Structure 1
Amino acid sequence: MTPASWSTSNTSLESWYRRLLLAYPGHYRRQHGAEILTTLMETTEPGRQRPHRAEMKDLLLGGLRQRFRLPSGRPAALLAAVLATLAFGAFGAAAGSWLGERTFTALPSTAEVDRLSDVIAGELEGAPNKLTAGPVLSSSTAEIVGGATGAITTPGWTMEQALARVTKQGWEIRSSKPAVATDIGCTGEYVAERTNGLVLQVDECRSADGVVVKTLIFAARSSAYLPLTVAGAIVGTLLGWLLAAGVSYRMRNLSSPRRAVITLLTGAGLAAAALPVVAFAANTRLLLSHLDEPNGRVYVLHAPLKPVWYFSFGPHHMIAVAACASLLCALAAVALSRGRATAHADRATLVG
């Protein structure tokens, strides 16, 4: 069978093989695609319209192996691939964490938290020096809405009665630790939860002026958060290695100036990624260490990307800016590597 006769004798089978060969990277198809296609067509029995399952499996697995391979004898390419894999894995986990946080229960408004602290304070004789509730953005947690009653000096006020009033508002008490009457400080802690996933934490603090009750409301971790975070890490890891391998192979056919620019972009991108990766790793440790606290504040992996003072140096947006700069360098390197300086004679055979 000759290539000229394929279009009339077995066009369907040829189309199948062409689609399966797309599993191989472009540089490999341009160099070996015509030879592989010719061999497959010449060894196929007449009249067959589609490949056998074994052929399909071999071609797909072979294509994946080629996509994950790095050029031999190039330790710099291996180092870049490992670092890119770590960086993209961290960024992917952060992206999955961000998506996971979108599945949390919506936080109540500041006014709603303010009204809840009124319920905790109860009917007081005179104003209790109440503090207005306000949103709090923590460097290591999800968004938290907090409020406080201020000093409660009315005789007869008890936390037990306050929690009974909260229960009537639809909250279920999960845990309680009464404050010690003789101790100064925040020694009492109470946790309540609603069926929609909101958690209320009440701290009972005692001072010389009376009782101060602090309240925090935050969203519990949803069941989708961890799977999305892990999935993001896996996708990012695979993408980082595949991009590094593809760029490494394409660079062989590029001019020296273009290779130099790609190398500089790669180095700059990896350098910019260092700070976000360290921050994500630190938050991963916090996330894992608090997994067994179902009613505790949620430590989200992507928290360093929020506009907070995460490190003791630099502006609030430093980590987010560094992450964006790293991704832009990676995109520029990939885009620049796609231009080819060398044409192949068999290029037209499998392109299109």
Structure 2
Amino acid sequence: MSHRRLLWAYPAAYRRRYGTEIITLLLEMAEDGRRPGRREKLDLVLCGLRQRFRVPWRRPLALLGAALAALALGAAGAVAGTWTGWQTATDLPSQQQIRGLSEDLSGMGGTSIEPWSTAMSGPAVSAGANGQNSYSPQRIRDALAAAGWHVTSLTESDSRFVTDFTTVPWTTIPARTVTFRAAKDGLVLAGSSNTQADGRAAQGFDIWAEHTAAVRPLTITGLVLGLLAGWLLAAALAARPRRGRTSAVLTVTAIAAASVPVVEAYRATWHVMIYKTSNPNPYVAYTTGDWIPAALNPELTVPVWVMPACALVSVLAVAAGLRVSR
């Protein structure tokens, strides 16, 4: 490895200021027969990396901006890692396949389909139908088997359905319910079918991808890479500061913009890490015995577009603030 390549470990500004001096020293050592060994080269590279991560400790705004940038990009990296991990899971059936399965299971049309995400941020979809039909557990067994699903459980039960809440007591009619669960090539299906005595029926089921071994390692990898990238970005921008009162406003803007996506992203990451893969309920990330910080309350949800938009605003504000802060 040439001497100049070793200097690539240092920031560009540092190379411009001290690069010639370092190269001259290395050449003089070589002329004296003291060529840098592996240890010296490693020390040189490590010193360069330390310079890249260095943020002026006497500039609180720069430090705050570096921490914020690291947290923001760490959150984005974790989300990206989780998404990448789930790409190794089995694909969900197409909407046409889900609609066909729903019609075969229920014997009714008008299926509604709604995609969603499990508590571990995995792909899932719900399907439901309502109408008039007869009670038939065997129809459900046959439809699942014909579609290649292996039925793991099917339970029948009797119940009563409320038809009028204004009476005392409520008016009810008998109903029968079939609860079923099946598996197929890394996918899980769970649902129920309810048929009332008057022939009115309602059926719904969920399909979701089972947990894959790649999700958690890639989530952690994305988190670490994001933290490092955020700090490096802040350190690079802090290397050439300019005076300006605008820095305080930009920093406050960055904090406000980052708060929603960062909390939401770390909440999702927390759920990914604590999710019990043996849990039969994909909606639940943890049990009542698990502890979760109040700041990561699972009730906090935001639209999908809010997180990347706020994260982008935050990073841009951090970048601008670091360039004008001192």
TM-score bracket for the superposition, by shorter chain length: 0.7 to 0.9
**What's the counterpart of residue 201 of structure 1?**
190
User: 1:30-78 CA distances to partner (integer Å, 9 max, x unpaired)?
Assistant: 3333332222222224578x74211211111111122222223333333
In the alignment, is residue 180 of structure 1 matched against residue 180 of structure 2?
Answer: no
**Structure 1 residue aligned with 2:105:** 120
Q: Which residue of 1 aligns with 2:181?
A: 191
The residue matched to 1:22 in structure 2 has which SS?
helix
Match in the other structure for 1:83: 68
**Counterpart contact for 1:151–1:209, Cα < 8 Å:** no
Question: Is 1:244 equivalent to 2:234 in the alignment?
Answer: yes
Which of 19, 42, 50 is 1:33 aligned to? 19
- The corresponding residue for 2:115 is 136
Taking a change above 3 Å as real, the CA distance of residues 247 and 105 of structure 1, as seen in their structure-2 partners, is: same
Residue 292 of structure 1: how far off its partner (Å): 1.7
For residues 219 and 96 of structure 1, do their structure 2 counterparts lie closer, same or farther at Cα, with a shift above 3 Å needed?
same
> Counterpart in 2 of 1:12?
none
User: Which one of 194, 215, 220 corresponds to residue 210 of structure 2?
Assistant: 220
8 Å contact kept, 1:113–1:146:
no
User: For residue 18 of structure 2, what is the amino acid of its counterpart?
Assistant: H
1:109 paired with 2:94, answer yes
3-state SS, counterpart of residue 206 of structure 2:
strand
* Residue in 2 that maps onto 1:269: 254
Task: Return closer, same or farther for 1:30/1:320 CA change in 2, 3 Å cut-off.
Answer: closer
**TM-score normalized by structure 1?**
0.70
Whether the 8 Å contact between 1:220 and 1:298 is mirrored in structure 2 is no
Corresponding residue number in structure 2 for 1:323:
311
> Structure 1: any 5+ residue segments left out of the alignment?
1-14, 123-127, 301-308, 338-352
Distance 2:124 2:100 in 1: 16
**Superposed counterparts of 1:224-303, under 5 Å:** 224-251=214-241, 254=242, 256-257=243-244, 260-262=245-247, 264-293=249-278, 297=282
Alignment-derived partner of residue 165 in structure 2: none
Q: Percent identity at matched positions?
A: 36
Q: Distance in 1 between matches of 2:157 and 2:307?
A: 42
Q: Gaps spanning 5+ residues in structure 2: where?
A: 162-174, 286-299
- Rounded to whole Å, the distance in 2 between the matches of 1:209 and 1:231 is 56
- Taking the aligned partners of 1:207 and 1:230, their CA distance within structure 2 comes to 49
Provide the rounded CA distance (Å) in 1 between the counterparts of 2:62 and 2:237: 9
Cα gap change, 1:207/1:320 in structure 2, threshold over 3 Å: closer, same or farther? farther
2:134 and 2:195 in contact (8 A); partners too: no
Which amino acid counterpart does residue 266 of structure 2 have in structure 1?
A
Which residue is equivalent to 1:147? 127
Cα distance in 1 for partners of 2:177, 2:140 equals 17
Cα deviations across residues 288-308 of structure 1 (Å, max 9, x unaligned)?
Answer: 3434247654899xxxxxxxx
> Is the contact made by 1:90 and 1:277 (CA closer than 8 Å) also made in structure 2?
yes
Report the CA distance between 1:172 and its aligned residue.
Answer: 1.9
Deviation at 1:119, TM superposition (A): 2.3
Does 1:171 pair with 2:149? yes
The Cα RMSD (Å) is 3.5
Contact 1:198 1:217 in 2 (8 A): yes
Distance change (3 Å), C-alpha of 1:320 and 1:75: closer
Q: Report SS of the residue matched to 1:178.
A: strand
Q: Check 1:27–1:168 CA distance in 2 against 1; reply closer, same or farther (3 A cut).
A: same
Partner residue of 1:59? 44
Distance 1:205 1:29, change over 3 A: same
- Cα 1:310–1:299 change in 2 (3 A) is same
The one-letter code sitting in structure 2 at the alignment partner of 1:322 is: C
CA drift at 1:167: 2.0
More strand by share: 2
- Provide the C-alpha distance between the structure 1 equivalents of 2:310 and 2:238, rounded to a whole number of angstroms: 24
Q: Give the Å deviation of 1:166.
A: 0.9
